[in-house]
Amino acid sequence: MSTDGLAYLKRLLRSGQHNDVNQMIRDQRTVLNRFGPVFRQPETLDQETFSQFLRFEHNRHWWNLHRAEPQLMRHFDLVRAVVVDLLDEERPISERIDSIGDIAGLTSDLYTAILLVAHPDTYGVRSRISDSAMQRLELWPDVDEGASDGETYVAINEMLRLIADDLDTDLWTLDALWWGAEKEHDPTKHFVRRTRPPAAAPRRTRPSAPSTRPKKKSGPETFVCRNCFQTKPVRLSSDTPGWCIDCA
């Protein structure tokens, strides 16, 4: 496990510089109190509650889950049955994940988020963002070639728990930190896409005379570290010219 990667996450956690990450962390108790009891009794799960969980304004943590809603709702009874099996703590988690099968929309981003909300002290989230951050920060676990999805998740989840323990934090907060780490790595790629009401149609008016707009201030907002070759915000530059604070 990379000590540099852990040190970076600790600095990110202490910095509190990302408002979206901070809000995700603050919303933890609200979301767990609302959806945790439902997922711990998945037989009671209904379409409306599940639909709400897929949306960022309700889950307060994952903003892309709603994209799969049409596919998931089309076969909701099957999806609920799979979720019931997924949350059966009498069976090994690797076996439960491997039995999910190919269900459109039911990806690891979603089913591990469900696991986290149901059992926040036991299961972490595996998503495209966490995979990318763990690999980039050299925190990816050793996974046997040819391992099944379930076996791979067991290795990843063990690593997530070790990292959370080292940071003295919880798995929900750690998942928010992965997002913050990826956002710092590529500020243009990762941002929260909040749901907004449709804008009213603009009223037709006569075109006005063009006005002179003030020129935007020029200057780089990011730089490429000469040591790790990663794109970083300028505020993460160190006293060593061309080096980021993580490498200096």
Q: Minimal CA–CA distance to 84: which of 105, 111, 123, 58?
A: 111
- The secondary element (H helix, E strand) that includes residue 247 is none
In three-state secondary structure terms, 232 is: strand
* Whole-angstrom Cα Rg for the chain: 21
How far, in Å, are 3, 85, 106, 131, 156 from residue 95 at the CA level?
32, 10, 16, 21, 15
List the pLDDT tens digit at each of the 248 positions of the chain: 678 899 999 999 988 777 888 999 999 999 999 999 999 999 999 999 999 999 999 999 998 899 999 999 999 999 999 999 999 999 999 999 999 988 989 999 999 999 999 999 999 999 999 999 999 999 999 999 899 999 999 999 999 999 999 999 999 999 999 999 998 887 655 444 444 444 444 555 555 554 454 444 444 577 777 666 667 777 677 777 877 776 66
Q: Which pLDDT value is given to residue 188?
A: 59
CA dist., res. 73 & res. 52, Å (int): 12
- The secondary element (H helix, E strand) that includes residue 88 is none
Q: Which pLDDT value is given to residue 19?
A: 83
Q: Which pLDDT value is given to residue 223?
A: 72
| Residues 78 and 107 sit within 8 Å (Cβ to Cβ) | no
Q: Which pLDDT value is given to residue 214?
A: 47
In three-state secondary structure terms, 244 is: strand
Q: Which pLDDT value is given to residue 237?
A: 76
CA dist., res. 246 & res. 5, Å (int): 9
Q: Which pLDDT value is given to residue 201?
A: 46
Q: Minimal CA–CA distance to 35: which of 26, 24, 22, 48?
A: 48
Q: Which pLDDT value is given to residue 208?
A: 52
| Residues 137 and 5 sit within 8 Å (Cβ to Cβ) | yes
pTM of the model: 0.75
How far, in Å, are 14, 88, 188 from residue 161 at the CA level?
19, 20, 29
Hey, where are the domains in the chain?
13-185, 218-248
In three-state secondary structure terms, 237 is: strand
